[in-house]
Chain A
Amino acid sequence: MFAAASGLALFGVVMVYSASSVMAYQENGNPYYYFIKQAVWTVIGFAAMIFAMHFDYQRLRNRKIVYALLVMTVLMLLAVFAFPRINGAHRWIRLAGFSIQPSELSKLALAIFLAYFLEKRAGEEGSFWRTFVPAMAVTGALALLVVAEPDLGTAMMLAVVCVVMCYTAGTRLLHLGMAAAPAFVGIVMMLIFVPWRMRRMITFLDPWSDPQDSGFQVVQSLIAVGSGGVNGLGFAQGRQKMFFLPFAHSDFIFAVIGEELGLLGALAILLVFGIFLWRGLRAALGAPDRFGMLLGLGLVTAIVVQAFFNISVVLSLVPTKGIPLPFISYGGSSLVPTLVSVGILLNISQYAGTTTNDGGLGGRSSEEKRSGGPRASAVKLQRMLRVPLTMFFG
C-alpha cells in the first residue's frame, strides 16, 4: 500500500509537470512552476504521511480529539467564505502563500468522526434515532457547507463516505434509502435551478452536440484519451494540454495520462488504484477494532471512489464534476490530506491480526474462535485479498 500510494504520488508529480509545463510557462514564464509546487507539497505530504503512520490511530478514538477536529473543520468551512472567490467558488483559505481547501480536510474529519461514532453505537447501528439521524446530521451539515462553496463533487464524496461507513457498520438499508430519496430530490432540484449544472448534465448525455461551449471539457477530454491509442503519444508528447484541455494538470490529468501513455499507461494507473484498494481494505478488515476497521474502510473508499469518479468524468461515464484525481492531480490541499489518510491506513495495517482487549467492541479474533460460518467467510475474504496481492508484490 505504501508502495502504491507513494508510487502514485510520485507519478503524479511527474505527470503534473508534463501537463502543466506549457501552461506554467505561459503564465509564469517558468515551466517548472507547478512541478516545483507539487514536489514541495509531495514532500510535505510524505512527511505528514510518515507522521500519521507512526501516530497510533487508536489515540484518535478520543472524544475530545474527534469533536475538536469536527468543530475545526466546520469553522474552516465557514472561514472559507471570508476569502475571495477563486474560479467562482469559495474553496480556499489563503494563508501566508499557502492555500488550503477545508473541504478536502472535511472528508478526513468525517471519516474519523463516523468511525468513532459508529463504534460507540455498536450494537445499535440499526437504530434510527440513536445512530442514523446523528450520523446523517453531521454529514449533512458538512456537506451543506461544502455545497455552499459551491463544491458539489466533494459534498458527494462526503455522502459516499457516510453511506459506505454507515452501510458497512450496519445501518438498515431502509434508513439509507430514506436519506437517499431527499438527497436525490435535492440533486435534481439543484440541476434544475442551477443552470450550469443542468448544462453539464445535458452535455454529459450528448457531449458532441455542443463541442464549443458546454461540452468543451468532455469533448477535449475524450479527444485526448482517444488519440492516445494503445501506446500513447509518449511522455510529455501530449498535444491536448496546449490549452485545448482545461484543467489538464488537475481535474483532467487522467486525460493527459491517457493521451501520453495510452491504454497501457491508463490501465496501469487504474490497476495501481486497484492494488491500493485491496491493500487498504485488507488493512481495514484486519484492524483489531471496529474503529480501525470503519475508519480504514471510510478512508480507502473515499480515495478510491474519488479516483474512480474522476476517471469516469474524464471518460464521460458520469457528468462533469470538479474533483481531483487523488495522489496525481495538482494541488497540495488534496494531496496532503490524501497522504495523511494513507498514513492512518498504514498505521491501522500495522495492527492487522492483533487483538485488543477492548471489550464490547466485538473484536474479530474472539468472534473467529467461536463460530465456524462467519469465520470461514472472513478467512475467505482474507484469502481473496491476499492472493492477488502476492501476485503483484511477489
Chain B
Amino acid sequence: MATLRNMRATSAALSKARPDASRRRALVVISLLVFWMLVITTRLVYLQTFQHETLARRARVQQQDAIETSPVRGLVLDRQGRELARSVDTESFFAVPLDIKDEEQTARALSPLVGVERSELTARLREGKEKNRKFVWVARKLDAEQAKKVEALKLEGIYSLKEPKRFYPNGQLASHVLGFVGLDEVGLGGVEQVYNERIQGEAGKLFVETDAHRRAYSSLEVEPRPGQSVVLTIDQMVQYRTEQALAAAVQNSKAKSGTAIVLDPRTGEILALANAPSFDPNDARASAAECRANQALQNIYEPGSTFKVVAYSAAIEERLVKPDDHIDCQMGSINVAGRIVHDHKAFGNLTITEALAKSSNVAAIKLGLKLGDERMYDYIRRYGFGARTGVELPGETSGLVRPVARWQPTSMGSIAMGQEVGVTPLQMAAAFGAIANDGVRISPHLVREIRASDGTVTYQAQPEQRRVVSAETAKTLRGMLESVTVSGTAKKAQVEGYTAAGKTGTAQKIDPKTKTYSATKYIGSFVGFAPVENPAVVIIVVIDEPAGAYHGGDVAAPVFKEIAEQILPDLNVAPDTEIKMENPIASALGDAKAAERVRAELEREAEERAATLPQVAIAQGADEVVYAPATARGVLMPDLRGKSVRDAARICAQLGLQMEARGEGRAVRQTPAPGAEVEAGRTVRIEFGRSD
C-alpha cells in the first residue's frame, strides 16, 4: 500500500509535477524578494535613525555657509564720556577661489592696491582653489578710498565685507591704558586686553543656505551683540597734560624712559597714567616692544628716598618719635651690623621733620632700627609694596620685597632708605595716596564702570580700602612732607597757587653685568600730592636713566610742578596759597583800562593753552589725526575741505555738529570757515564736489 502510494506520488511528480515545482520555485523567488525587502527596511531604519545625526550634520555642512559677522567693539570712554577708543567700519575683501578664472590676472590687478606682492597673492589664490576653500582673505580693513578703487576693478570672485576696525581718535593719548587690538580685533594690551571679553561683544552668524553651486537661496542672520563700553577713571585732559609734561622732561633730560601717574587719593581713581616713550595704538605693530611696555606697573625700581616715608610714618604711628623730636644724624655715617652707610652730606642734630626734608639716610635707618625688622616689614606690606595693586591692566608685577625671615642683619641699613626693595611707580603712588587720604589706602584702579550697549551698568568699581596709618599720623606726615618742597630737596616741586608735599628719590640702578650699583645710571623720582591739607591728586614722576642731572629733585620734581599747576585748576581745585608770581592784573590795578587789557590777554592765553588739547581727532585712513581745539564755548571748526562725505560726517558727529551736506565727492566749501568757533549742536554746511 505504502509502495503503491509512493509510486503514485512519484508518477504524479514525474508527469504533472511541473506546476507544483513552479509554485515551490515561485515561493523561493518570493522569499528572496521578501528578504531583500527586509534588508532594505533595516538599512532605511539604520540610515534614518542611527545615522540621522551624522548625515544631517554633513548635509548642513554642505548646504549651509555660516559666516561669522563681527560684533562692534564697545567704546572706551574717559571719565567725562569722551571717546578714547571706538570702532569704525572698514571694507575687507575676500576671494572665492573657485569663482576666479585667472589668478594671475586677478593678482596683478589687486596687488598694487592692497599692498601684497603679486606672486604671493597668486599663490594664495591658487592654494585656496586647490584646497577647495570657499573663502580666502585678500585685503583687510581698507579705508574708504582704497576700497572704492578695489571695487572699481569689478573683479570676478572678489567680494567685500564690512569689518569694524579699532580706532583711537587721540592717537598716542593714554595708549598704555587703552592698549591696542590685533588684526582680528582682539585686545592685546591695556584695558582692551583685560576686558576683551566684555568689550568685544558676541559675534553674529549669518547662515546662508546654498545649492551645490554655492548660490544662496535663503539666509538667516543672528545679529551680533555689540560689546560693552568701558568708562575709565582717566581724564583725557589730565592725561594729555601729564603726557606732554613727561615727554618734554624725558626729552630734555635725555632719559631712557619715564613714567607719570596722577591718582585721586580720595577714590583711588587713576586720572592719568603715562609712559614715555609711547606708541600709537592705531598702528601698534609699527612700534617697538619697549615702547608698548607699561613701565608704570612693570618697571621694578629701587625707590630710594621716597621709600623713607615707610620708616617715618611707622615710627610716628608706633609713637616712637614725634616730628619735633631731635635725632642725631651722626655726621653722616652709621654702622649697621658692621656695614657703614653714609649720608650724601654730613648732618648733625636734626628734628625728625628736618631729617626727612633733607633726606638723611642715617635718620631713616635709625628709625628703622627702632622699629625692628618685623614691624618695618609689616608697614611695608600695609602700604601695598610687594603685592600687585590689582589695577585693571595686564602684566602688573608685584615688585620685590623679601619676606622678613630672609632679611640679613644689614638689611635694615638698605631697606629703610629704599634699597634692597623693588617697587613699581603705581605701588609708590598708591602708598602716598594712603598718606594723602588720611591713612586709608584705596586700591588704585582705572575702570569706573562698564556699560552694556543699552546703557545698563554691568560693572562698577569697588576698590578695596585699607587703613595703613591713623589719620593723625597721615596728617603729621603730610606736614613733614610739605617741608620737603618748602625747604628740603624738592623746592622745584613747589606749585603755583597750591601747597604741595612730596618726597624725592634718587636711586642708583643695579648694573645687570656687575650686579653692583652703577655709578652712571640713576632713577630720579618724585612723588607728592597737592594741596597739602586736602590732597586732590597724588602725582608720581619717575625718570629712568636721565643724562646729566639725575637727582629726583632736579629731573622729576619740576615735572610734578608742571603737571600739578596745569591740572589742579582744570579739576576745579581751589588754590590754597598765594600766587607768588607777580600778578599782572594786580600790578596794573591803577589803570582800569590796562587791567582790562591784561585780563583779556590772560583769558586768551588760558584759551590757547586749552586749545593745545586734542579734543577730538578723527582718522582718515588710520594715521591722520585732526585736531579740533576746544575753546571755552565749544570747539574751533576744523578744516574739512578735501574730506569725503563719510569722513566729514564722522568728524561732525564726533564734534556734536549737525552736518548739512550738498553734492558729492570731496568737501570744497564749508560754513563756518576753518578756525571759527562753533558751539556743539550747531548746523554746519558743507558743499561737496568733484574736482575733475
A378 at interface, CB cutoff 8 A:
yes
Q: In the complex, A122→B16 CA distance in Å?
A: 10
Distance from B98 Cβ to chain A, minimum over Cβ atoms (Å): 12
Nearest A residue to B57 via CB reads: A227
Do B211 and A243 touch across chains, with their CB atoms under 8 A apart? yes
- Output the least CB separation between A289 and chain B (Å): 10
Q: Within the complex, what minimum Cβ distance (angstroms) separates B12 from chain A?
A: 5
Is B520 on the interface with A (CB-CB < 8 A)?
no
Q: Of the candidates A239, A244, A308, A378, which one forms a contact with B37 in the assembled complex, judged by CB atoms under 8 Å apart?
A: A308
Q: Encode B242-273 as 1/0 by CB contact (under 8 A) with A.
A: 00000000000000000000000000000000
Q: A263-B48, A301-B29 are in contact. Are A225 and B55 (CB under 8 A)?
A: yes
Query: A residues 317-346 with Cβ under 8 Å of B?
Result: 317
- Check B12 against A285 for contact (C-beta < 8 Å): no
Determine whether A5 belongs to the interface, using a CB cutoff of 8 Å to chain B. no
Q: Which residues of chain B are within 8 angstroms of A364 by Cβ–Cβ distance?
A: 19
Annotate B423-466 by CB proximity to A: 1 below 8 A, 0 otherwise. Answer: 00000000000000000000000000000000000000000000
Residues in B with CB closer than 8 Å to A274 are: 34, 37
A141 to B17, CA, bound (A): 31
Of the residues A229, A312, A367, contact of B19 by C-beta under 8 Å = A367
CA distance A374 to B48 in the complex (A): 43
User: Nearest chain-A residue to B56 (Cβ)?
Assistant: A227
**Known contacts A293-B22, A312-B40, A373-B9; is A164 also within 8 Å of B29 by CB?**
yes
| B39 contacts chain A at the CB level, 8 A cutoff | yes
User: How far is A242 from B56 in the complex, measured between Cα atoms in Å?
Assistant: 15
Q: Which residues of B contact A222 (CB under 8 A)?
A: 47, 51, 55
Are the C-beta atoms of A170 and B18 separated by less than 8 Å? yes
B589 interface hit (Cβ, 8 Å): no
B44 at the interface (CB under 8 A from A): yes
Q: Does B325 contact A (CB under 8 A)?
A: no
Against A, the Cβ 8 Å flags (1 = close, 0 = not) of B11-37 are 010001111111111111110011011
A226 touches B55 (CB 8 A): yes
Knowing A227-B56, A244-B211, A367-B16, the reply to whether A378 touches B44 (Cβ < 8 A) is: no
Of A212, A226, A290, A367, which one neighbours B51 at CB under 8 angstroms? A226
Residue B514 CB within 8 A of the other chain = no
Chain B, 27-73, CB within 8 A of any chain A CB = 27-30, 33-34, 36-37, 39-41, 43-45, 47-49, 51-52, 54-56, 58-59, 62-63
A228 within 8 A of B: yes
Q: B54 contacts A315, CB within 8 Å?
A: no
Q: What is the 8 Å Cβ interface bit string for chain A, positions 267-281, against chain B (1 contact, 0 not)?
A: 100100110010001
In the complex formed, the residue of A with least CB distance to B21 is: A170
- Residues of A in contact (CB 8 Å), total 57
Is the pair A225, B23 in contact by a Cβ cutoff of 8 Å?
no
A contact residues around B212 at 8 Å (CB): 242-244
B213 interface residue per 8 A CB criterion: yes
Quick one: which of B40, B43, B51, B209 contacts A239, CB cutoff 8 A? B209
Whether A223 is near chain B, meaning CB under 8 Å from some CB there, is yes
Which B residues are in CB contact (< 8 Å) with A239? Answer: 59, 63, 209
| Minimum C-beta distance from B364 to chain A (A) | 79
Q: Does A262 contact B (CB under 8 A)?
A: yes
Known contacts A226-B55, A267-B41, A370-B12; decide if A170 and B63 are in contact (CB<8 Å). no
* A274 to B36 Cα, complex, angstroms: 11
Q: Is the CB of A227 within 8 A of B44?
A: no
On whether the beta carbons of A242 and B211 are closer than 8 Å, the reply is yes
A363 to B: closest C-beta gap in Å: 8
Name the interface residues of A209-243: CB closer than 8 Å to any CB of B: 212, 222-230, 239-240, 242-243
Within 8 A of B (CB), among A290-316: 290, 293, 297, 301, 304-305, 308, 311-312, 315
Q: Which residues from 177 to 228 on chain B have a C-beta closer than 8 Å to any C-beta of chain A?
A: 209-213, 217
Chain B residues whose CB sits within 8 angstroms of the CB of A381 once the complex forms: 23, 26-27
Q: How far is the CA of A345 from the CA of B27 in the complex (A)?
A: 18
Task: Determine if B18 and A122 form an interchain contact, defined as CB atoms under 8 angstroms apart.
Answer: yes
Q: Distance in Å from the Cβ of B36 to the closest Cβ of chain A? A: 5
Chain A, range 69-120, C-beta contacts under 8 Å to B: none
- Is A390's beta carbon under 8 Å from chain B? no
Cβ contact of B48, chosen from A262, A305, A312, A370, cutoff 8 A: A262
Give the chain B neighbours of A308 by CB distance below 8 A. Answer: 33, 36-37, 40
B-side contacts of A230, CB under 8 Å: 48-49, 52
Could you say which residues of chain B place their CB within 8 Å of the CB of A13? none
Assuming the contacts A170-B18, A266-B48, asked whether A223 and B58 have C-beta atoms less than 8 A apart, the reply is yes
Find the A residue at minimum CB distance from B58: A223
Residues on B with beta carbons closer than 8 Å to the beta carbon of A290: 19, 22
Instruction: Determine the chain B residues whose CB is within 8 A of the CB of A225 once the complex forms.
Output: 44, 47-48, 55
CA distance A262 to B44 in the complex (A): 9
In the assembled complex, A49 has its CB within 8 A of some CB on chain B: no
A377 to B19, CA, bound (A): 11
**Roughly how many angstroms separate A125 CA and B25 CA in the complex, as a whole number?**
13
Across the interface, do A270 and B40 meet the contact criterion of CB distance under 8 Å?
yes
A230 CA / B48 CA spacing, docked (Å): 6
**Which residues of chain A have C-beta atoms less than 8 A from B52's C-beta?**
226-230
Q: Check B44 against A267 for contact (C-beta < 8 Å).
A: yes
Interface 0/1 of B563-598, CB less than 8 Å to A: 000000000000000000000000000000000000
The interface centre, meaning the residue of B17, B39, B47, B52 with most chain A CB atoms within 10 A of its CB, is: B47
- Closest CB of chain B to A294's CB: distance in Å? 8
Partner of B26 from the list A229, A281, A311 (CB cut-off 8 Å) is A281
Best-buried of B12, B21, B23, B54 by chain A (most CB within 10 Å): B23
**When the two chains form the complex, which single residue of B34, B40, B210 contacts A317, counting CB atoms closer than 8 Å?**
B40
Smallest CB gap from A244: residue in B: B212
Provide the bound-state CA to CA distance between A277 and B30, in Å. 8
Asked if A315 and B12 make an inter-chain contact with CB atoms under 8 angstroms apart, the answer reads no
When C-beta atoms are compared, the residue in chain B nearest to A164 turns out to be B29
Do the beta carbons of A263 and B12 come within 8 Å of each other? Answer: no
Contact of B40 among A226, A297, A311, A367 (CB under 8 A): A311
Assess the A270–B59 pair: CB atoms within 8 A: no
Q: Which residues of B contact A167 (CB under 8 A)?
A: 25, 28-29
Whether B16 pairs with A270 at a CB distance below 8 angstroms is no
Could you say which residues of chain A place their CB within 8 Å of the CB of B12?
Answer: 370-371, 374
Beta-carbon nearest neighbor of A278 in chain B? B30
Q: Which residues of A contact B132 (CB under 8 A)?
A: 212
In the complex the two chains form, is A367's CB within 8 Å of B20's CB?
Answer: yes
Kindly list chain A residues whose C-beta atoms are within 8 Å of the C-beta of B16. Answer: 362, 367, 370-371
A229 engages B211 (CB within 8 Å): no
A12 at the interface (CB under 8 A from B): no
A168 touches B26 (CB 8 A): yes
Known interface pairs A270-B41, A373-B9; A170-B22 also in contact (CB < 8 Å): yes
Q: Is A242 touching B217 in the complex (CB atoms < 8 A)?
A: yes
Complexed CA–CA distance, A230 and B23 (Å): 38
Cross-chain contact B22 with A168 (CB below 8 angstroms): yes
Q: Are B20 and A374 in contact (CB under 8 A)?
A: yes
**Is A348 in contact with chain B by the CB < 8 A criterion?**
no
B17, B44, B54, B58: most-surrounded residue (chain A CB, <10 A): B44
Q: Given the complex, which residues of B lie within 8 Å of A226, measured CB to CB?
A: 47-48, 51-52, 54-56, 58-59
The distance from the CB of B20 to the nearest CB of chain A, in whole angstroms, is 4
**Most A-side CB within 10 Å, residue of B9, B48, B59:** B48
Hey, what's the 0/1 contact readout for A151-183 against B, CB within 8 Å counting as 1? Answer: 000000000000010011110000000000000
* Contact A285 B21, CB 8 Å, known A263-B44, A266-B44, A317-B43: no
Q: A312-B43, A371-B16 are in contact. List 14 more A-B contacts (CB 8 A).
A: A122-B18, A168-B26, A169-B18, A223-B59, A225-B55, A226-B55, A242-B211, A244-B62, A263-B48, A267-B44, A270-B40, A277-B33, A290-B19, A373-B9
Offer 25 A-B interface pairs, CB within 8 angstroms, sorted by A.
Answer: A123-B18, A170-B22, A222-B47, A223-B55, A224-B59, A226-B51, A227-B58, A229-B49, A230-B52, A240-B59, A240-B63, A242-B210, A242-B212, A244-B211, A263-B44, A263-B48, A263-B49, A270-B44, A274-B34, A281-B26, A285-B23, A315-B47, A317-B39, A367-B20, A377-B24
- Would you list the 6 A-B pairs with minimal beta carbon distance, nearest first? A226-B55, A242-B211, A243-B212, A374-B20, A227-B59, A263-B48
